[in-house]
Chains A and B, each alone.
Chain A
Amino acid sequence: MEPFLQPLRDLPPRARRWSLVLVLLCGALLGLFVLRTFASPLYRQYQLDFGAAQWIEPAEFAPVAYFRREIFLNAEPEQAWLEAAATDSFKIIINDTTVGTETNLKMRVAQIYDVKRFLKPGTNVIAISVVRNSYPGSAQLLVCGGFKEPGGNTGSFISDEQWRVTPRTGIVQGTEEWVSPLVQEQVWPNARRATIMEHPVYITWVERNPLLLRLPPSGKWIRAENASREATFSASINAERARPETWIQVASSGSLDLLVNGKLITGVASSPLKEPKTPSLPRLTSEPSEKEKTEMTTQPPAIVRPPQNLKPPPTPRPSASPSPASSPSATAAPAHSESIPELMATSSQKPTLDAYDISYWIKKGPNTIVATVRNTQGPARFLATGFMVRKDGNIQQFETNSDWRVSDQQGAQKQHAVEAGSNGSAPWGYLTQQLHSPVNLSDFDVVAKPVAVILLTIIGTIALWLLASRFVAAKTHEALRYALARDALFHAPITVGLLFLLLPRYDFRFPIDWPFQPKFVVLAIVALLGVRLLHFLPRRRITANLSAQIIYCWQ
């Protein structure tokens, strides 16, 4: 090692310092790219497709606008989704229940929501308030949504001039809230098509693959033949390549531990359900005063404020447990005579369909999915549905069915699972879909792997620098220190290029993982190798002078 590093000592101190800084910086940046591209990729982001929807705005200039639209459903939908984009910030309220809010100043924020639990048979009000703070201009909105009813009827809605919009609500005291279905929509002005100067119109990226909500619900509830309370379900899915984009949505009747190729995706011990939660804020329950009612009608969205100096009901209830009224979500103790679906429906909370991006753990060939469900109050049931994006862009779906294998705690013998109804069947019906991140319990993944990848890349870059310089010095019969200094300089354009590549990460027009693509890493490595050909350019006087000038400048 000593003779290998000796030429570094021959360099003038300033040249040595700057050479090392350049090479180390280049190595560290390249290490970051290698890490984020191959070893620890960032999460994916998606651009929403709004189809034929139009940007709409109030007829008159209004930076704050309240949009609404009524849709009619014959039955509770089995699938319903809503995509929205707006200037700066928006809040979506469906049937008086807040679906979600998004805020990001100076941008057109976007999001997609699963709204099936907010919709009901009959007239439904979709109300969206948009506030534009960043620069002059009216609040603008873009909406696209769809739903599917049990009979197979499908419907869709998009933002257009049929939407109603007003910059003020509650003009008359005592009228209904602006989100109420009782509001006379006819008296509200129509929205108009927005005039947008910028082309193309960029909206922010979202973290949820829209296909999770747009694809029709699938999958069967499966259980063990003996309806045991604990069961381990397993299946294998084939992938035509390593790390294709793969999503899985899972639901279970009890606690769930999920493994994909041995990697823990979700686990009971790390589940937030078991985390000690901050107790909710005790709130005073009271009727708002007339004054506050007035405030509510003039200041949407309404904020219910307790009246001044109001005390809670003064009659303490020394009951052992809180009254049912105070705990509406309290669950009753299950009766033993109930049927299994009823028992499950009453003994545990309604499960949700939790979506995980498992792309990173999928390898080429067969991939094993193992899920263990434990339910202390009923049979262990499991539902999974997912998809994998193929090379050609098509979707390969997979789901739980009787082909899955199941084993219980005692019996190692695996049997075929028994189907216990399809997605949407009793007792839970169609489940609410939620986005989750796989758990990461490994300090190796969090700390050691990134450090190791970056360090190894730095070491590789330095080794390449020393070797290439030696080779060049031998070939060109010049002093090694000249070759070292010149070669270190060649790292500068690569470093600058990589730094420029990082910039789109902070530009909302690009997804967050855009800079970290294999082609950029390969390009950087090829450039790092190729740039060394400059050593062998025809040696004229100017080249020799350049070497001397470099050394002189760094001295």
Chain B
Amino acid sequence: MNIGKRVELWAGVGASIWAAHWLLFVGSFLVFSSAILKWLNFPFSHHPRGLQLPLLRNIELLPHLSLLSYGVLGVCVLATGLALLWRSDTFLAVAAAILIAFWAAAPCQIAFQQPALIRRLNAETQDLPMIRGFAKSYLPVNYGPAEEYSKHFELDTVWDRFVAAYSFLGLGWYCFGIGSLLIATYSIGRLPGERGTTALALGGIPIGVLIIFLTPPLMGQHYFISACTAQARGNNEKAITSYRKAMWWDRWRRQDINIYATIGDLERLSGSGEDSPERHISRAQELKEAREYESAVFELSRAVAWGGAVAIASRCESARTRVDFGIALYNGGGIGAAVTQWQQALIEDPVQQQGLAFLIARGNYDLGRYQASLDALNGILKASGDKPLLANAYSLAGDCYTKLGRDTDARRSYNLSLKEDILVNFWAMSALTGN
């Protein structure tokens, strides 16, 4: 048999195999490749890949490989399903159902199980214009048109949080979902006997997962609405009880500083809970609105001392208060004190306040602490995945090197800045050309 005929034969066999199993091939390829694709799009942090997005715990500042990640588990489940395919098609169908369950669980987990993550995503979205604007106002030559970021999420309802979480999902999640659905279609088509009944039974797996994820926030929302209504009717006791039930059910509510402050307000008006953490938080909110930031931070530190969920929420709020305090100090000319506040905020809440590193770097530059500014910028360069932000960080690093007399490093930084953003990067361009 000559080569031509042999190729023709193999091509025929390959075509028939492809025609019979293309759903499985394409689906498996998508699921496997999703492990190395980005699952979450952070506004300016590094985007975690499938292998780096943990299933059970919060994602850290710098994403790294996790054995219990969506990517690893997805690959394992699919590989097991494929390995057991020779024994029964049902195994592959079960694997597909589990993959679909993972796929449905990802946005639910971000929205309902990991309040810190959804807050971080939202905070980065809101901080992005400030950080970029801060860089833009640095040099008039870099002052372009005002950037508009319409992405603002309402997070009042369960649906709102789901939509917000969904909007941050990346290509990896989509590939994983499409691949899982293709494999499910393939495996259901090969199921013996009553396909419909088996498919319905297997559909119970993702539906069950959804129910498990959705029940607590829905219950929490129910009690939250009850609390708001009772509060509007002037029934403070019932409102406080309902708020506490809402927090018990819903992790999101458990870390919502507004609810603690509202309970504190109600307790204050009722004359109860003299030394409760909620009273301290309520007092802190009031002080913050009156711009007495130090007193507000002190009140929050007393709430932190109680430990538990209230401590987490108070610590985050304390960090936010320090950010505001730093900005007020900066605007008043107290740059050194502002930098100190921002550094403390970063210590209190290193994950949520990551954008602060840029402000710290800039503050240190203004103070003539060029090496400290470079240290802060290194943190940004490691942790950020946002190109304009990286370009600005490199440009600021270039300015620091220039001040330190390290012209070669400065030139390298400006070039790196241009590499990140060449279109409207007047800062680096003008620095390189000496204007």
Residues of chain A at the chain B interface (Cβ within 8 Å): 229-232, 255, 257-259, 262, 264, 267-270, 274-276, 278-285, 292, 305-309, 311-323, 325-327, 330-331, 333, 370-372, 374, 376, 407-409, 439-443, 446-447
Partner-binding segment picked from B7-15, B199-207, B229-237, B299-307: B229-237
A259 touching B229, Cβ below 8 Å: yes
Output the residue of B233, B317, B324 with the most chain A CB within 10 A: B233
A274 touching B143, Cβ below 8 Å: no
Partner-binding segment picked from B40-48, B284-292, B388-396: B284-292
Residues of B within 8 A of A305 (CB): 140, 143
Q: List 26 A-B contacts (CB under 8 A).
A: A258-B232, A259-B229, A259-B232, A259-B233, A264-B225, A268-B265, A269-B243, A269-B258, A278-B130, A282-B134, A282-B327, A306-B137, A316-B333, A317-B329, A319-B329, A320-B294, A322-B291, A322-B334, A326-B333, A376-B265, A376-B286, A409-B269, A441-B224, A442-B225, A443-B218, A443-B221
Of all chain A residues, which has the CB nearest B125?
Answer: A278
B315-357 interface (Cβ within 8 A of A): 317, 320, 323-325, 327-337
Least distance between A282 CB and chain B CB atoms (Å): 5
Cα A311 to Cα B156 with chains together (Å): 41
- Report if B270 contacts A (CB, 8 A): yes
B137 touching A281, Cβ below 8 Å: yes
Of all chain B residues, which has the CB nearest A306?
Answer: B140
Residues of A within 8 A of B327 (CB): 279-280, 282
Cα A393 to Cα B359 with chains together (Å): 57
B198-257 interface (Cβ within 8 A of A): 218, 221, 224-225, 227-229, 231-234, 236, 243, 257
Output the residue of A259, A314, A372 with the most chain B CB within 10 A: A372
- Report if B185 contacts A (CB, 8 A): no
B110-145 interface (Cβ within 8 A of A): 126-127, 129-130, 133-134, 137, 139-141, 143
A331 touching B139, Cβ below 8 Å: no
B232 touching A440, Cβ below 8 Å: no
Given contacts A441-B224, A442-B157, A446-B157, contact A312 B229 (CB under 8 A): no
Cα A319 to Cα B329 with chains together (Å): 8
- Report if B158 contacts A (CB, 8 A): yes
Main secondary structure of the interface of A (DSSP, over half): loop
B137 touching A372, Cβ below 8 Å: no
- Report if B366 contacts A (CB, 8 A): yes
A274 touching B232, Cβ below 8 Å: no
A322 touching B328, Cβ below 8 Å: yes
A257 touching B231, Cβ below 8 Å: yes
A330 touching B290, Cβ below 8 Å: yes
- Report if B268 contacts A (CB, 8 A): yes
Cα A327 to Cα B325 with chains together (Å): 11
Least distance between B334 CB and chain A CB atoms (Å): 4
Given contacts A276-B320, A278-B130, A317-B337, contact A232 B234 (CB under 8 A): yes
Contact of A278 among B126, B158, B243, B258 (CB under 8 A): B126
Residues of A within 8 A of B157 (CB): 440-443, 446
A274 touching B328, Cβ below 8 Å: no
- Report if B159 contacts A (CB, 8 A): yes
Least distance between A326 CB and chain B CB atoms (Å): 3
Of all chain A residues, which has the CB nearest B323?
Answer: A279
Least distance between B260 CB and chain A CB atoms (Å): 11
Given contacts A305-B140, A322-B328, A323-B332, contact A268 B291 (CB under 8 A): no
A376 touching B269, Cβ below 8 Å: yes
Contact of A326 among B232, B317, B328, B367 (CB under 8 A): B328
- Report if B401 contacts A (CB, 8 A): no
- Report if B293 contacts A (CB, 8 A): yes
Residues of A within 8 A of B236 (CB): 230, 409
Cα A305 to Cα B231 with chains together (Å): 48
Residues of B within 8 A of A280 (CB): 130, 327
Number of B residues with CB within 8 Å of any CB on chain A: 66
Cα A284 to Cα B367 with chains together (Å): 14
Cα A314 to Cα B404 with chains together (Å): 19
B232 touching A282, Cβ below 8 Å: no
Given contacts A281-B130, A317-B333, A443-B218, contact A275 B229 (CB under 8 A): no
* A-B contact sample (9 more), CB < 8 A, given A230-B269, A264-B228, A321-B291: A255-B265, A283-B137, A318-B334, A322-B331, A331-B290, A333-B290, A407-B234, A440-B157, A441-B157
Cα A258 to Cα B218 with chains together (Å): 23
Residues of B within 8 A of A439 (CB): 156
- Report if B262 contacts A (CB, 8 A): yes
Cα A323 to Cα B291 with chains together (Å): 10
B139 touching A308, Cβ below 8 Å: yes
Residues of B within 8 A of A230 (CB): 234, 236, 269
Contact of A370 among B233, B317, B359 (CB under 8 A): B233
- Report if B24 contacts A (CB, 8 A): no
A284 touching B269, Cβ below 8 Å: no
Least distance between B153 CB and chain A CB atoms (Å): 11
Least distance between B44 CB and chain A CB atoms (Å): 14
Cα A278 to Cα B43 with chains together (Å): 15
Residues of B within 8 A of A326 (CB): 328, 331-333
Given contacts A321-B293, A322-B331, A325-B332, contact A284 B137 (CB under 8 A): yes
- Report if B261 contacts A (CB, 8 A): yes
Cα A446 to Cα B127 with chains together (Å): 28
Residues of A within 8 A of B227 (CB): 269
Contact of B337 among A278, A312, A313, A318 (CB under 8 A): A318
B334 touching A269, Cβ below 8 Å: no
Residues of B within 8 A of A267 (CB): 228, 231-232
Residues of A within 8 A of B292 (CB): 321
- Report if B410 contacts A (CB, 8 A): no
Of all chain A residues, which has the CB nearest B270?
Answer: A409
Contact of B261 among A274, A285, A316, A447 (CB under 8 A): A274
A372 touching B133, Cβ below 8 Å: no
Least distance between A153 CB and chain B CB atoms (Å): 38
Cα A166 to Cα B227 with chains together (Å): 57
Given contacts A258-B232, A305-B143, contact A270 B156 (CB under 8 A): yes
Least distance between B403 CB and chain A CB atoms (Å): 11
Residues of A within 8 A of B367 (CB): 316
Cα A318 to Cα B317 with chains together (Å): 23
B231 touching A316, Cβ below 8 Å: no
Contact of A282 among B221, B336, B359 (CB under 8 A): B359
- Report if B95 contacts A (CB, 8 A): no
Contact of B332 among A255, A258, A307, A317 (CB under 8 A): A317
Cα A273 to Cα B369 with chains together (Å): 37
B126 touching A232, Cβ below 8 Å: no
Least distance between B232 CB and chain A CB atoms (Å): 3
B221 touching A441, Cβ below 8 Å: yes
Residues of B within 8 A of A321 (CB): 291-294, 328
Cα A327 to Cα B366 with chains together (Å): 21
Cα A261 to Cα B212 with chains together (Å): 34
Least distance between B62 CB and chain A CB atoms (Å): 24
Cα A319 to Cα B269 with chains together (Å): 33
Least distance between B246 CB and chain A CB atoms (Å): 10
B228 touching A319, Cβ below 8 Å: no
Which A-B residue pairs are the 7 nearest by beta carbons?
Answer: A326-B332, A257-B232, A232-B234, A322-B328, A316-B336, A317-B334, A322-B332
- Report if B108 contacts A (CB, 8 A): no
A313 touching B291, Cβ below 8 Å: no
A446 touching B159, Cβ below 8 Å: yes
B259 touching A374, Cβ below 8 Å: no
Residues of A within 8 A of B243 (CB): 269
Cα A314 to Cα B12 with chains together (Å): 79
B229 touching A262, Cβ below 8 Å: yes
Residues of B within 8 A of A275 (CB): 258
Least distance between A164 CB and chain B CB atoms (Å): 29
B268 touching A376, Cβ below 8 Å: yes
B258 touching A274, Cβ below 8 Å: yes
Of all chain A residues, which has the CB nearest B158?
Answer: A443
B234 touching A269, Cβ below 8 Å: no
Least distance between A404 CB and chain B CB atoms (Å): 14
Cα A313 to Cα B338 with chains together (Å): 13
Cα A279 to Cα B266 with chains together (Å): 27
